[in-house]
A and B are shown apart, each in its own frame.
Chain A
Amino acid sequence: MRTAWLLLLLAQKFYLDDPIQEDRDRLRIGPPVAVELSSTYDMLSNTFAPPELERPVPRAMNVNTLGEVPDSSWFTNRIGKTEMTLTQLANGPETTGPPDTSRTLSVIRAKQGGITPGFTIRDARGRIYYLKFDPAAHPSLSTGADIISKNFFHAIGYNVPEAFIIYVREEHFVIDPKAVVNLPGGEEVPMDRAYLEFMLSEAARVPDGNVRAVASLQIPGDTLGPFKFYGTRADDANDIFPHEHRRELRGYRVFCAWLNHDDSRSINTLDTYVEGHVRHYLIDFGSTLGSGSDMFRDIAPQDPRAGNEYIIDLKQALRVAYSFGLIDRPWRKVKYPYPTFAEAGRIEAEFFDPPRWRPEYPNPAFDRMLTDDALWAATIVARFSDDAIRAIVRTGDFLSSEAETYLADTVIRRRDKITRYYFSQTNPLTRFRSSSNRLDFDYLGESAAASFEYEWFSFDNDTEELTPMAERGATPAPTLSVPDGSSAFVMVRVRTRSEGAPNGMKAVDVYLRSSATGYEVVGIEREL
């Protein structure tokens, strides 16, 4: 009890280490057990019995006082905070390099799960890669999407596996004597050359006869299975923020909408145990952008439903039912330039509407995304310049430059829609920075800001009491003078007056702390 009182007395809004830049979620723990996930159960439970939505939805819990996501085992700030060169963007997470195809590749396992055909190989240097191919009917479709999206999600800040596009022939492979194939029903049979040749015969080839594949490097550490978008992992002491309240998982919705990652569900995530703690990955981007699967789970250009409606959308179904089918899905009328740009698959930017975008089935973290979560994500999306997007799309290594251009243009247009929409939902003031007695910030709204209305307060960090100061007014430029005074903390409330952007009047409270070199921004709070 005495400790509790002491803590209460010591309670402050801002601590000396705020804003924290790193969540040190690397407390050493014993190896957790690997858990499996049923994708069917995940779909049914999230569709028919989703976790009850809190009213009001609480704010994201793992953010620092600036509303940023600190670096952690889940997320590393990259393009959101630093400038990345086009080379860095195109390289993605790669440090190890592709498999050594100058020597034979040993096939050690058949691939299980997912929609793409493939198998596991070990190269001459002992590194293990998962190989996935495009079906013969759809060259470059899923391998291109896989590599491109992997590089986008890496630049955004997520952990993704290293992956490469490689070109191979039958003679590159030998079958490991211990390699097996799992038959339906669980029976294992030794893998033979016929199986290998069958898999390769089903794969798309480039004009020189080589088979094109994505080689994903085995993620380091022990595989623990997927993470869920709700709750925490009971045996991971570092996992203390319910996943649905993690900003990078809520904001993941914005990125997935942008890149049409409708397959953004638990089965495409992976936890690994490495160096005494759990690390969290996104995996398998084969069903993103214009690549997807058909009704038989074979790789195909994205189903027009994907990204527009849940697999089971009861509300929509009932509308169709009682209207005798006359109420049709508007997305059925969308015209895709497919197969003109076949390698890009089925993706477009005209009909795309960010808030209406849907994954395959409800995602508890997505459903809890608030405007501040979305603003965080959209701000990162906005950091991808046209050149950056083109550089990443180029990593898809399409045969057709027209398809590459179309895809890049589409991603650029989707980016613009994302930022336009989410910046209009709140007061889009970002990148607050102080120097000497000046506070600068960026205004990201599309409508021209007529003025920024501000109101200064002194702030007591212990009692959280605000006392109005004399300085208030409006300025046309995103620059404010910090008032002179002896307060250790001051706060300025800023609203943006702009025609056609009513949400700009939502308050953004910026807290500054006095330091030896002047004031520093220590906290940002946004009105929802």
Chain B
Amino acid sequence: MLRRMREEKKRTAVTPRPNRIEEQMIRFDKGENPTIADWNLKGFYPRVAWPARGSGAAVGLRYWQPDFWGPLDMGGAAFYSLRSYQHYDLQFGLLPHVERKIPSRSWKGDDVYELASLEPGSSRIPLYVTLRHRYLPQNDFYGLGPDSSLDERTNFLHEEKRLYFRTGYQFSDHVVWIVNGGWQWNRIDSGKSSRLPSTEEVFDDESAPGLSSPPDYFRAGTQFLIDYRDQPANPHHGFMAALAYQRFDDRESDAYSFDRVGADLRGFIPLGSPQRVLALRSRIHVDNTNAANEVPFFMQESLGGSHNLRGFDSFRWRGERVLLYQAEYRWEPLPLWELSVFADAGKVAARGGDIGLSALQTDWGFGTRFKTYRDVVLRMEIAFGRETTRYYIRGSASF
């Protein structure tokens, strides 16, 4: 009987074929189909990004060509956002990267943790030049200091060009020292928002220093990073400590020169299980000037937005002194799926103002993240502050 069944099947045998989805996944498994993240056309990688705070989502291209000229790499980016923000840059030199993969990057350009992506396999000595142009047509401004009012929300246009070099040394997988220097040119103009008044309509040079004559700068600084997180972009234990100093020299007069000192401390504590992590962060920025100088309003550090005081609008608080505390309880139903509840607290202060723990602005919220083992791919959060409720969809970790 079995033989009869086999003879019958022999007569009707057909060639097995994988379905179309499986065909594509076979190519993917074999590396013939690159992942979405690796897909590129001659070094141009299509991307969705949030290149500046308040920009909204932007679409554009990143360019990456390792060993473009001998050992020197070439990178770049061109993005245009839903709110007409524009970002263009070009980088050339020994750029930190792992193997030949396109490196992750910081958009802001002066975060103290920008070079945390130096991983084993990176060059120990990054050395590169960046030329950058940003067009930020509707940055929000509510006034300076802790007493700024939601009712005084305005917007301004900030066009910024920078040319700077960055170098340093990676002492080990965990310790990096960076120095940088370069020029920054600024242009401030009327904000392009149709809903908000422009900043000059509400504020003047006294309440918004640098509004009518924004200074250009020569900048130089150094950063020191100790990073003992297990996975910098998806940490479950360990800590990170970053210290930064930056000197801003007003190129025309000395009126707007200042120094900035910053520190960013983060700790990740597993709570009895790797699936439960308490994530803590403390950040401080202090700008110092002599008594006669002022820090331009648009150069002052701010709080509010998807990475710090999440229950407040972007740029809601600006000041020469900024203090931030963040705490998140994260738990993982699966290694690639994380849930979180969080609370943020922070404040800004004018020069000489109180930077203590009193009168902190606070918020709380919850969210979910989808991750790879190395990175947060998608972060969705709701944050509740006393002024507003904010919703976030982002492609990076909160901190």
Contacts and interface: CB of A to CB of B under 8 A. Distances in A.
Interface stretch (B6-14, B81-89, B291-299): B6-14
A101 B130 CA distance: 55
A27 B335 CA distance: 48
Contact of B21 (A35, A41, A320): A41
B71 interface: no
Interface stretch (A88-96, A323-331, A422-430): A323-331
Contact of A240 (B6, B14, B26, B337): B6
Nearest to B272: A328
A27 B3 contact: yes
A186 interface: yes
Interface stretch (A231-239, A244-252, A346-354, A394-402): A231-239
A186 B18 CA distance: 20
Interface in A175-205: 182-186
B48 to A, nearest CB: 23
A49 to B, nearest CB: 11
B5 A321 contact: no
Interface residues of A, number: 44
A52 interface: no
Contacts of A25: 2, 6
Contacts of B15: 32-33, 234-235
Contacts of B273: 325, 328-329, 332
Given A186-B32, A295-B373, A325-B332, A36 B9 contact: no
B109 interface: no
Contacts of B22: 37-38, 41
Contact of B25 (A38, A233, A238, A321): A38
Nearest to A233: B16
Interface string B358-375: 000000000000000100
A466 interface: no
B4 to A, nearest CB: 10
A236 B15 CA distance: 9
B21 A185 contact: no
A517 interface: no
**Interface SS majority for chain B:** mixed
B70 interface: no
B333 A318 contact: yes
Contacts of B28: 38, 40
Interface in B228-282: 272-276
B331 interface: yes
A332 B335 CA distance: 13
B332 A320 contact: yes
A35 B333 contact: no
A317 interface: yes
B34 interface: yes
A317 B273 CA distance: 15
B29 interface: yes
Interface in B1-52: 2-3, 5-7, 9-10, 13-18, 21-22, 25-26, 28-32, 34
Contact of B276 (A35, A112, A312, A325): A325
Contacts of A332: 273-275
Contact of B2 (A184, A240, A326): A240
A36 B26 contact: yes
Given A41-B25, A185-B32, A332-B273, A235 B16 contact: yes
A29 B6 CA distance: 10
Contacts, number: 109
A320 B275 contact: yes
B275 A237 contact: no
Contacts of B30: 112, 186
A238 B4 CA distance: 10
B7 A27 contact: yes
Interface in A281-323: 295-296, 312-313, 316-321
Contacts of B25: 38, 40-41
B6 A238 contact: yes
B58 interface: no
B13 A237 contact: yes
Contacts of A313: 334
Contacts of B77: none
Interface string B139-166: 0000000000000000000000000000
Given A240-B6, A317-B337, A329-B275, A235 B13 contact: yes
B173 to A, nearest CB: 15
A39 interface: yes
B90 to A, nearest CB: 26
A255 B329 CA distance: 41
A6 B17 CA distance: 39
Contact of B34 (A38, A185, A316, A320): A185
A319 B331 CA distance: 12
Contacts of B331: 320-321, 324-325
A72 to B, nearest CB: 10
Given A36-B18, A317-B334, A328-B272, A23 B2 contact: yes
B29 A38 contact: yes
Q: Chain A CB within 10 Å — which of B13, B34, B272 has the most?
A: B13
A321 B34 CA distance: 32
In the A-B complex, the 7 residue pairs with the closest CB atoms? A325-B331, A237-B10, A317-B333, A38-B25, A41-B25, A321-B333, A320-B333
Given A40-B29, A328-B272, 20 more contacts: A24-B2, A25-B2, A32-B16, A33-B16, A36-B18, A38-B25, A41-B22, A185-B32, A234-B14, A295-B335, A316-B333, A318-B333, A320-B332, A320-B333, A324-B329, A324-B339, A325-B329, A325-B339, A326-B276, A329-B275
Interface of A: 23-25, 27, 29, 32-33, 35-41, 112, 182-186, 233-240, 295-296, 312-313, 316-321, 324-326, 328-329, 332
Interface of B: 2-3, 5-7, 9-10, 13-18, 21-22, 25-26, 28-32, 34, 272-276, 329, 331-335, 337, 339, 373
24 contacts: A24-B3, A25-B6, A29-B13, A35-B18, A36-B26, A37-B22, A39-B29, A40-B25, A233-B16, A234-B13, A235-B15, A237-B6, A239-B9, A240-B2, A319-B333, A320-B331, A321-B333, A324-B329, A324-B331, A325-B275, A325-B329, A325-B331, A325-B339, A328-B273
